[in-house]
Structures are given as structure tokens and as C-alpha cells.
């Protein structure tokens, strides 16, 4: 697969991941954390704000292509 096509597909995947992840994280927060104290909100949004990086790293690694020796 050409590098430009791989980059284009990866970019689209990351955009979709971020949008979907934000919707799911916000839905979970509004459903479960409505009456929680501020520090629970803080911890939830801190962890959920960092968690999306893991699948994004896998997509970026795929976009980089196979390791050449």
C-alpha cells in the first residue's frame, strides 16, 4: 500500500476515533457522574482524556508502515 494512501486512511481513522471516543466518554460521564463530587469528574476526565492516545498510537504506528531493515 502506498505511503500516501496509508496516511490518508490513518488520518480518517484518527478523526473518527476522536469523535466517537469523545461522544462515548461524554455519554458515560453524563449518565454515571451526574451527582458525583468534583474530584471524581476530574479523575474521570483526566483518565478518559488520556486513554484515547493508546489506540491513536496503534493507528500512527500502522501509518508509519513496516520497519525496514
44 CB contacts (<8 Å, ≥6 apart)? 29, 33
Is the residue at 67 inside a domain?
A: no
* Structural domains of the chain, count: 1
Q: What is the pTM of this model?
A: 0.78
Is the residue at 68 inside a domain?
A: no
Is the residue at 69 inside a domain?
A: no
Is the residue at 41 inside a domain?
A: yes
Is the residue at 13 inside a domain?
A: yes
Helix residue ranges, H only, the chain: 3-32, 38-51, 53-64
Please write the tens of the pLDDT for every residue from 34-61: 889 999 999 999 999 999 999 999 999 9
Residue 49 belongs to what domain range? 3-62
pLDDT of residue 67 exceeding 70:
no
Amino acid at each position: 500500500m502506498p505511503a500516501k494512501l496509508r496516511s490518508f486512511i490513518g488520518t480518517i481513522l484518527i478523526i473518527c476515533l476522536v469523535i466517537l471516543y469523545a461522544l462515548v466518554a461524554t455519554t458515560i460521564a453524563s449518565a454515571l457522574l451526574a451527582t458525583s463530587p468534583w474530584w471524581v469528574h476530574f479523575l474521570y476526565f483526566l483518565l478518559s482524556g488520556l486513554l484515547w492516545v493508546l489506540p491513536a498510537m496503534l493507528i500512527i504506528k500502522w501509518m508509519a508502515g513496516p520497519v525496514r531493515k
